[in-house]
Amino acid sequence: MQLFIKVGFAVFLFSVVDKKLKAQEFKISCDTVNYFSANVPNINFSRHLFDDGCSDKRITLQKKGNKFFETLKINYPMFISLQSSQLLAIPNKNVNGVLSRFGDVFIVDDTNNINRLFISINDTITSIVVQYSKKTEFDKFLKIFDSLKNYINNAISHVASPYVKSRYTIGIDVIAALNQYYNARLAHFAVLPVLLQGNYTDSLNRLIEINFKKIDPSYWLQIQPGTIFLRTYFTKIVLPKNDYSLQKSLAYSSLFGNKRVRNYLTYHYFTSFLSNDSASNILELIKKEFTQYETENKFTEDEQGILKRLKSELIQSGSNIIPLFSKQVLTNEKGRHLTIIEKNEILLNKGNVILDYWASWCAPCISFIKTLKSDEIVYDGEKYKIIFISIDKRQEDWLSKKYPAIRTYNSYRLADLNKFSFYKAFEIIAIPRLFLIKNGVLINQNFEKEKL
């Protein structure tokens, strides 16, 4: 059955590309009965190759009376998010429902809509996945994996059954899309030991090689479980096994055969070096490879913009960033702006420094800072001083947080978030964001706080 689904879907996709099927409408509407947010709900979906759910396309729903609604024109089934709810958009189909809880959960009203079954299966998958945690032993992980795999296989068989096809009026294209999504979720679970525990064992690698031999890039690059699996498996397992050789790593698995997948993984090959503090000895080779990657492939305008920022970050690696750092408008605890000399002194001749960008409203930031007993830590046998840079908009919010590691001599507030500076150059959107610096030279742009 699964082979039939994959072959059928390949034929369907070929017909889409070859015949350029006319786009059809997918309509979505929802009541506001249980909607308590002041914000208008949004639809999100993948826009380009390097999305990963962070820079995807966002469409704000229209409002009329007590309803929100929108119409998408699509050629074939695609996955979208309405707030936090994952949905399958199908050409020439509609979906109606209500926004519940705090306006982030979409409940399907239509009894004959495949999304009701899709959401139900997703909820069950989630209930199995949450049995795994950072403390779970590998043997238990394997048992949960087998349980999840069996459930997903049964779910796919159920979706492909004559009853479901007739009940929800779906064709092979919809079945194939759901098949890809569920298997991507299984693959995502397979790399949780890597994401949560840093467990790169050969046993885990063999499990991945046995269970995932072929993917459909048109879906795995569109849905977050698929992209997370691909980049984690490639950067955390395959690259280290092949001594960080790009060509050897790309040739390692049949999963990487598709050109778009290879371009996606190559992009993350370069981003992985931004958070690798031992990569400084091959930086020139990496920069040369990046230039070749950029010139030999075609990218959309959005993708070119992302590559331009990545190139800038690669250039900054291994360079002195004190001048760029000093362009920031920093204030001390008394609200006085620091002079250029004072800002230079924060990093100048200080040896090993870790910059921590944080905010008083950021729970993960506070959680990390609470674990620090002082502003001096030992990492990889060397001592480091931590400098805290708050991005709080109000001085009083920043000063309201007091912890043992934060002192008047190591903590400052970024008073202007819009001025071009270190903060803007590195687009510090997600916090906490840590930078590892040695004598003013940038070594690691995404230092993992778990290493401390």
Q: Is 127 exposed, middle or buried (0-12, 13-18, 19+ CB in 10 A)?
A: exposed
Distance of CA 264 to the CA centre of its chain: 13
Closest by CA position to 2, among listed 215, 280, 271:
215
Q: At what angle do helices 172-190 and 202-211 cross, to 10 degrees?
A: 170
Cβ neighbours for 30, distance < 8 A, ≥ 6 positions apart? 41, 61, 67, 68, 69, 82, 96, 97, 98, 99, 106
8 A C-beta contact, residue 419 and residue 440: no
Confidence at residue 32, expressed as pLDDT on a 0 to 100 scale? 66
Question: Quick one: fold of 20-110?
Answer: Immunoglobulin-like (2.60.40)
Q: Quick one: pLDDT at residue 33? A: 60
Query: Which CB contacts under 8 angstroms, 24+ apart, belong to 378-381?
Result: 379/354, 379/451, 379/452, 380/277
Task: Please answer whether residues 13 and 177 qualify as being in contact, where contact means their C-beta atoms are separated by less than 8 angstroms.
Answer: no
pLDDT at 7: 36
- Write out the DSSP string of 57-123: EEEEPEEETTEEEEEEEESS-EEEEETTEEEEE-TTEEEEEEEETTTTEEEE--TT-HHHHHHHHHH
Helix (H, G, I), strand (E, B) or coil at 406: coil
pLDDT at 37: 60
Full pLDDT tens readout for the chain, 452 residues: 333 333 333 333 433 433 455 778 999 888 766 666 666 788 888 877 887 655 567 888 888 877 888 999 988 899 998 888 899 999 999 999 988 777 778 889 999 999 999 999 999 999 999 999 989 999 999 999 999 999 999 999 999 999 999 999 999 999 999 999 999 999 999 999 999 888 778 899 999 999 999 999 989 999 999 999 999 999 999 998 998 899 999 999 999 999 999 999 999 999 888 887 766 677 888 888 999 999 999 998 888 988 988 888 888 888 888 999 999 999 999 999 999 999 999 988 788 999 999 999 999 999 999 999 888 988 888 899 999 999 999 999 999 998 999 988 999 999 998 888 888 888 888 899 999 998 888 989 888 877 77
- The helix/strand/coil state of 56 is coil
Cα–Cα distance, 182 to 118 (Å, whole number): 10
Model pLDDT for residues 319-367, shown as the tens digit of each residue: 888 999 999 999 999 999 999 999 999 988 788 999 999 999 999 999 9
What is the predicted pLDDT for the residue at 35? 60
Model pLDDT, residue 20 = 52
User: What per-residue confidence (pLDDT) applies to 340?
Assistant: 93
| Contact between 67 and 31 (Cβ < 8 Å) | yes
For 235, the token pair is 């950067």
- Provide the token pair at 34: 């249980």
pLDDT at residue 54 in the model:
56
Class of CATH domain 322-451: alpha beta
Q: Quote the pLDDT of residue 328.
A: 94
Give pLDDT tens digits for 393-423: 999 999 999 899 998 899 999 999 888 888 8
pTM: 0.80
Amino acid letter at 261?
Answer: V
* Helix segments in 363-437, DSSP class H: 363-371, 395-399, 422-425
Taking each continuous run of H as one helix and of E as one strand, the counts in the chain are 19, 16
What is the per-residue pLDDT for 21? 57
Distance CA 55, CA 418 (A): 20
